[in-house]
Amino acid sequence: MADHGAQTDLILVTGPSGAGRTTAIHVLEDIGYEVIDNLPLSLVARLLEGGLDRPLALGIDVRNRDFSIDALLSLAARIRADPTFAARLLYLDCAAATLVARFSETRRRHPLAPEEDAEVGVARELSVLTGLDDHADAVIDTTEMTVHDLRDEILRWFGGDARRLALSVQSFSYKRGVPRGLDLVFDVRFLANPHWVPALRALTGREAEVQAHVAADPRYGDFYARMSGLILSLLPAYRDEGRAHLAIGLGCTGGRHRSVAVAESLAETLAVEGWRVSKRHRELDRRAAASTKGPDDTGHGENAA
């Protein structure tokens, strides 16, 4: 691969079928990337030898005739070693049960089990991909996402200046598990729970009354100062390391009050300090999606999250 001066962005997009790979590469195409889907790995080096005049995104999946984790990681390593390119590996993750549901609801056959049940194909593909997410530069879990959510997430990761560190602050319920892809996680279940206050139970951590109740806990002030101070002290180091995105999670029992309130405050603190930050409240978003879901945002299939 020849040296053509300034680095060119190159994103390798992979993950299980149904997790949203096609949606992701379409979004990248919309923001200026040249997109090629399912190019044989053995041909990628030849493609890059001629140089690129704009950023490139390559969609790669197990249907590729020469696909293997070792082959993909070897390719990624060779590209990263070339100063011509700023290469990143994006892995779109998704829970097996959700993948099965997406194939079942769209009545599509799984590419690795065209004559068998979707469960067989999903299990077979996830087995082939085991451990690949550990080597990815970016992991996006699309289990709870619609196509619109995934588009927003792709834009947060790749839509801005790659030299800036984009932050994502997420609240969640420990009952439903810790979201995949978080870099820093803080447990706020020790704080006073608004659920036990009848006047606050129906509200969420977005409301001022709930935020005031949580902040009134005598332990809150010291905790928040230490947590936010630690994060702010680490961010320059993550940025200097070349990280494009950092995901911070805050969890409580139900994901409705305490974690939401603290996430709202933390996002505001980070924004005031000049960092680019987005918010996501997993449980609130899930309830909202369940009550408003229509035929255009089902989030199923390969073209969905």
pLDDT at 294 over 60: no
Is 33 a member of any domain? yes
CA distance to 99, 155, 275, per residue, from 32 (Å): 29, 12, 24
Report residue 226's pLDDT band, with 50, 70 and 90 as the boundaries.
Answer: very high
Do 240 and 283 reside in the same domain of the chain? Answer: yes
CA distance 57 to 273: 32
How many C-alpha atoms does 16 have within 13 Å on its Cβ side? 32
> Amino acid identity, residue 9?
D
| pLDDT of amino acid 257 | 97
- Under the banding of pLDDT at 50, 70 and 90, the label for residue 300 is very low
Q: Does any domain span residue 301?
A: no
Helix axes 208-215, 220-240, angle to 10 degrees: 100
pLDDT value for 302 = 40
26 pLDDT above the threshold of 50: yes
Do 67 and 130 belong to one domain? yes
What local confidence, expressed as pLDDT, does residue 175 receive? 94
Residue 284 domain-assigned? yes
Same domain, 190 and 125: no
Query: Of 75, 110, 143, which closes a domain?
Result: 143
Determine the average pLDDT of the residues in 95-105: 87
C-alpha to C-alpha distance for 144 and 39, rounded to whole angstroms: 29
Identify whether 304 is part of a domain.
no
Tokens of 70: 């070792």
Q: Which of 7-21, 145-159, 192-206, 291-305 has the highest mean pLDDT?
A: 192-206
pLDDT tens for residues 136-160?
988 999 998 888 888 888 887 887 6
Percentage of the chain surpassing pLDDT 70?
90
Asked whether residue 176 carries a pLDDT value surpassing 80, the answer given is yes
Picking from 143, 158, 181, the residue at the C-terminal end of a domain is 143
106-110, 224-228, 245-249, 251-255: the lowest-pLDDT one: 106-110
CA distances for 169 relative to 43, 57, 261, 272, angstroms: 39, 26, 11, 14
Q: Two tokens at 231?
A: 């994060």
Q: With residue 254 as reference, give the H or E element that holds it.
A: none
Please, are residues 253 and 193 in contact by the beta-carbon 8 Å criterion?
yes
Q: What is the pTM of this model?
A: 0.57
Q: What is the pLDDT of residue 91?
A: 93
Backbone angles phi, psi at 191, to 5 degrees: -80, 160
- The percent of residues above 90 in pLDDT, for the chain, comes to 42
53 in a domain, yes or no? yes
CA atoms within 13 A on the CB side of 17: 26
The pLDDT of residue 166 = 81
Domain ranges, residue 188: 168-292
Note the pLDDT of residue 48. 86
If asked whether residues 110 and 189 sit together in one domain, one would say no
- Cα atoms in the Cβ-side hemisphere of radius 13 Å centred on 7: 14
Q: Are residues 25 and 123 in the same domain?
A: yes
231-277 pLDDT, tens digit each: 999 999 988 776 778 899 999 999 999 999 999 999 999 989 988 88
Name the average pLDDT for the chain. 85
One domain, residues 192 and 280: yes
Top-confidence residue, 35 or 52: 35
**What pLDDT shows up at residue 14?**
92
Residues 119 and 240 in one domain: no
pLDDT higher than 60, residue 227: yes
287 and 191 in a single domain? The answer is yes
138 lies in the same domain as 264: no
Decide which of 109, 143, 177 is a domain's last residue. 143
- Judge if 106 and 187 occupy the same domain: no
In a domain, 223, yes or no: yes
14 is a domain residue: yes
Give residue 68's identity as a one-letter amino acid code: S
**Is residue 120 helix, strand or coil?**
helix
Q: DSSP characters for 163-218?
A: TSPEEEEEEEEGGG-PPTT-SEEEE-TTS--GGGSHHHHTS-TTSHHHHHHHHTST
Residue 172 shares a structural domain with residue 260: yes
Q: Which two tokens stand for residue 160?
A: 């801005």
The CATH number covering residue 139 comes to 3.40.50.300
The predicted pLDDT at position 80 comes to 86
Phi/psi of residue 22, nearest 5 degrees: -65, -40
pLDDT (mean) for 73-95:
89
On whether residue 158 sits in a domain, the answer given is no
Is 190 in the same domain as 135? Answer: no
- Tally of domains within the chain: 2
C-alpha 104/C-alpha 98 separation (Å) is 10
Four-CA torsion 148, 150, 153, 154, nearest 10 degrees: -110
